[in-house]
Amino acid sequence: MKLKELESCLQQVDTFENPKLLLEQYPTRPHIAACMLYTIHNTFGDIEDKVVADLGCGCGVLSIGAAMLGAGFCLGFDVDEDALEIFRTNADEFELPNIDLVQCDICSLPAQCLVKAVDTVIMNPPFGTKHNKGMDMTFLKTALQMARTSVYSLHKTSTREHIQKKAADWNVKMEVVAELRYDLPASYKFHKKKSVSSYALFFVIKLYSRL
Ligand SMILES: C[S@@+](CC[C@H](N)C(=O)[O-])C[C@H]1O[C@@H](n2cnc3c(N)ncnc32)[C@H](O)[C@@H]1O
């Protein structure tokens, strides 16, 4: 599948109807999702035939794209049942049978989920900016416990040094794959402009390269 084709399919994915600010429900835009997934697939070979987990999956754009690129199985995890309901409808509309969803709080996953249960984790986690400080790092730590091979994640550019330090503490090596411009259409009342842009870093941690 070509990048443009993937992006145009992901434009059909429905997103949050009533986004919940405290859960940082910002959807990954189709262009960013397609570029991330295409790179994970073509450059790193971490999607095709792999078991892929999507932490904080929301309405499913990353899982759905991974399934389209030939993931063996995709597992979406999110705390919000409204988002998961939209995800289910999206997966049905695309006729993707190899996806399953788990409603849970990532901060309190049962131990059996945390023992290298999947090959690859992909995620656009909450950035920890809405009275949930540290949530980005909780997601990252959980992802590292779950993944056998690789973790791909989006983070606020300003957290680069902090994440690098944490990665060293956790004995893993992380690399910045790209810095992405993140355009969000106004989705909350406090957004005064039609769209808001900021930047996010797209990280990879390959677990075979534990220091
Ligand atoms: C930035 S959104 C990303 C949504 C989706 N992955 C995407 O790329 O469009 C973050 C997601 O994390 C979920 N979330 C926030 N806190 C959570 C928690 N403690 N446990 C599980 N999911 C959580 C939100 O409901 C939301 O769907």
Pocket test for ligand 1, best of 75, 79, 188 (most atoms within 8 A of CB): 79
Q: What is the dihedral of CA 7, 11, 15, 21, to 10 degrees?
A: 60
What is the pLDDT of the chain when averaged over all its residues?
A: 91
Question: Measured in angstroms, how far is the CA atom of residue 69 from the centroid of ligand 1?
Answer: 22
Cα–Cα distance measured from residue 177 to residue 36, given in angstroms and rounded to the nearest whole number:
9
Average pLDDT over residues 169-197: 78
At 110 the pLDDT is 84
- Residue 154 token pair: 């989006």
Q: Which residue has the higher pLDDT, 114 or 19?
A: 19
Is the pLDDT score of 113 beyond 90?
Answer: no
Contact 90, 13 (CB under 8 A): yes
Give ligand 1 pocket residues (Cβ under 6 A): 23-28, 56-58, 61-62, 78-80, 83, 105-107, 124, 126
pLDDT confidence tier of residue 40, bands split at 50, 70 and 90: very high
| Closest by CA position to 118, among listed 197, 201, 19, 207 | 207
Who's near 15: CB < 8 A, 6+ residues apart?
27, 58, 59, 61, 86
Average pLDDT over residues 44-56: 98
At 211 the pLDDT is 42
Q: Which residue has the higher pLDDT, 60 or 205?
A: 60
Who's near 206: CB < 8 A, 6+ residues apart?
44, 149, 150, 173, 175
Q: Which residue has the higher pLDDT, 206 or 20?
A: 20
- Residue 82 token pair: 């409204």
Q: Which residue has the higher pLDDT, 145 or 131?
A: 145
- Residue 98 token pair: 């190899």
Residue that has been written with the tokens 């993944």 in this structure: 147
Average pLDDT over residues 50-65: 98
Cα–Cα distance measured from residue 93 to residue 91, given in angstroms and rounded to the nearest whole number:
5
Is the pLDDT score of 198 beyond 80?
Answer: no
| Closest by CA position to 52, among listed 34, 64, 39 | 64
Cα–Cα distance measured from residue 27 to residue 161, given in angstroms and rounded to the nearest whole number:
25
Is the pLDDT score of 99 beyond 80?
Answer: yes
Is the pLDDT score of 210 beyond 90?
Answer: no
SS3 for 103?
A: strand
Cα–Cα distance measured from residue 61 to residue 67, given in angstroms and rounded to the nearest whole number:
10
**Rg for the chain (alpha carbons), in Å?**
16
Cα–Cα distance measured from residue 40 to residue 91, given in angstroms and rounded to the nearest whole number:
21
Q: Candidates 3.30.470.20, 3.40.50.620, 3.30.1490.190, 3.40.50.150; correct CATH number of 3-11+24-155?
A: 3.40.50.150
Give the start-to-end residue ranges of the domains of the chain: 3-11+24-155
pLDDT confidence tier of residue 203, bands split at 50, 70 and 90: confident
Question: Measured in angstroms, how far is the CA atom of residue 24 from the centroid of ligand 1?
Answer: 7
- Structure confidence by residue, pLDDT tens digits, 82-94: 999 999 999 999 9
pTM: 0.94
- Structure confidence by residue, pLDDT tens digits, 126-141: 998 778 889 999 999 9
pLDDT confidence tier of residue 191, bands split at 50, 70 and 90: low
Q: Using CA positions, which residue lies closest to atom 13 of ligand 1?
A: 56
